[in-house]
């Protein structure tokens, strides 16, 4: 079978959607190696994908790569058996080609929390998602929460949706030595003990309430936040300083260093308002770091009984749970052990088996 992927984010996105795309490609080429895999995208040198062939824009489409991805690429799908839109989109017109299609939907946060997105963004992605959901042969949701949102916001028959949980890069399952942790702390001038937050620095991730909770908990542990630099990050730094919270950013942390940064933390604080899956929760559990995250949304699907939860809109509740973990060594150790068991629900083998099943391979 000749399987094609929308690989734009696999090549160009360094966060969640890119990590998901790279992982799906890695898992299928590893566990179903007898198929032929095509990556539809403009390639970059940053990422390489063994056992695949990249299909890039040709002719005039080279000057309009976004339009090529949205509909021009359909003309290059000769002999493609399956096209998989890995990030909520399918090229317009693909329903006329006879190519089987799968689309992965990560979330519909732009509709659930419209105030966080511009009207132009909402219109564009609503149109793209409506088309993909209408024509896809299979719809993949990355959590039960996302499945419910697809049904609620778009009226899709639940029988057309299959939940396939994602995993995380195997790098997080490799042992991280104490020496590596100390070297990483020294390289990035990290404190001996710290709280960790990982994810985009944006209002939805709720770092402002986490900073308030740290202040209320009266802990002097610094907060290390891994994420991109922007104006909102500067605003948060000012808020932290006003409350006496020691906030340190790691804006350009190489992916290879992330497991050691997780391992060196006292716990991961992930008080996000809403997510499709919450992959930092899984990454932390794989490494052996306790997790404090939010009630609601998909968080209990990912964290299970291993994490502790707090209302993300209640800094006092976040502070109470934070203090509980920091003050009870036995609880912290229990969370670490349960985290390893929970993480085993999302191993490469299990995720790959579900992807293969959905793709109809074999």
Paired strand residues for 5: 39, 84
pLDDT of residue 228: 87
Could you give the CA distance from residue 133 to residue 135 in angstroms, rounded to a whole number?
6
- Give the closest residue to 108 by CA, choosing from 77, 68, 139, 83: 139
Give the CA dihedral 124, 161, 33, 20, nearest 10 degrees: 50
- 8 Å CB contact between 35 and 28: yes
Homologous superfamily (CATH) for 2-167+347-359: Glycogen Phosphorylase B; (3.40.50.2000)
Could you give the CA distance from residue 283 to residue 291 in angstroms, rounded to a whole number?
10
pLDDT of residue 169: 87
pLDDT of residue 297: 87
In this prediction, the residues of the chain whose per-residue pLDDT falls under 70 are: 362
CATH 3.20.20.10 fits 170-345, yes or no: no
pLDDT of residue 243: 97
pLDDT of residue 89: 96
Residue 90, token pair as written in the block:
């399918």
pTM score: 0.91
Q: What would you report as the CA-atom Rg of the chain, rounded to the nearest whole angstrom? A: 21
pLDDT digits (tens, 9 = 90+) for 84-135: 999 999 999 999 999 999 999 999 999 999 988 899 999 999 999 999 999 9
Q: Is 187 helix (H, G, I), strand (E, B) or coil?
A: helix
- 8 Å CB contact between 276 and 149: no
DSSP one-letter code for 256: G
Portions of the chain given CATH number 3.40.50.2000: 2-167+347-359, 170-345
């Amino acid at each position: 079978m000749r399987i094609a992927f929308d690989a734009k984010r696999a090549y160009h996105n360094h966060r969640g959607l890119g990590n998901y795309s790279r992982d799906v490609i890695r898992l299928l080429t590893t566990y179903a190696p007898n198929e032929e895999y095509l990556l539809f995208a403009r390639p970059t040198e940053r990422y390489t994908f063994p056992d695949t062939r990249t299909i890039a824009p040709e002719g005039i489409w080279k000057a309009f790569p976004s339009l090529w991805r949205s509909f021009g690429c359909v003309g290059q799908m000769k002999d493609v058996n399956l096209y998989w839109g890995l990030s909520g989109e399918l090229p317009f017109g693909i329903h006329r080609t006879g190519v089987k299609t799968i689309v992965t939907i990560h979330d519909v946060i732009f509709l659930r929390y419209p105030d966080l997105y511009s009207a132009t963004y909402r219109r564009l992605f609503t149109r793209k998602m409506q088309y993909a959901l209408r024509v896809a042969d299979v719809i993949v949701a990355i959590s039960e929460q996302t499945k419910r949102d697809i049904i609620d916001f778009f009226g899709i028959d639940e029988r057309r949706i299959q939940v396939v949980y994602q995993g995380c890069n195997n790098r997080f399952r490799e042992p991280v030595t104490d020496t590596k942790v100390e070297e990483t702390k020294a390289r990035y001038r990290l404190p001996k003990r710290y709280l960790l937050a990982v994810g985009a620095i944006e209002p939805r991730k709720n770092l402002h309430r986490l900073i308030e909770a740290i202040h209320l908990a009266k802990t002097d542990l610094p907060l290390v936040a891994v994420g991109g630099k922007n104006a909102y990050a500067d605003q948060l730094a000012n808020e932290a300083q006003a409350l006496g919270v020691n906030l340190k950013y790691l804006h350009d942390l190489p992916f290879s260093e992330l497991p050691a940064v997780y391992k060196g933390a006292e716990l991961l604080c992930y008080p996000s308002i809403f997510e499709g899956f919450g992959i930092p929760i899984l990454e932390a559990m794989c490494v052996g770091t306790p997790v404090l995250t939010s009630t609601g949304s998909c968080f209990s699907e990912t964290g299970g009984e291993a994490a502790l939860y707090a209302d993300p809109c209640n800094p006092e509740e976040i502070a109470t749970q934070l203090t509980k973990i920091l003050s009870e060594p036995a609880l912290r150790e229990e969370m670490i052990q349960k985290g390893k068991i929970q993480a085993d629900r999302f191993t490469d083998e299990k995720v790959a088996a579900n992807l293969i099943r959905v793709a109809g391979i074999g």
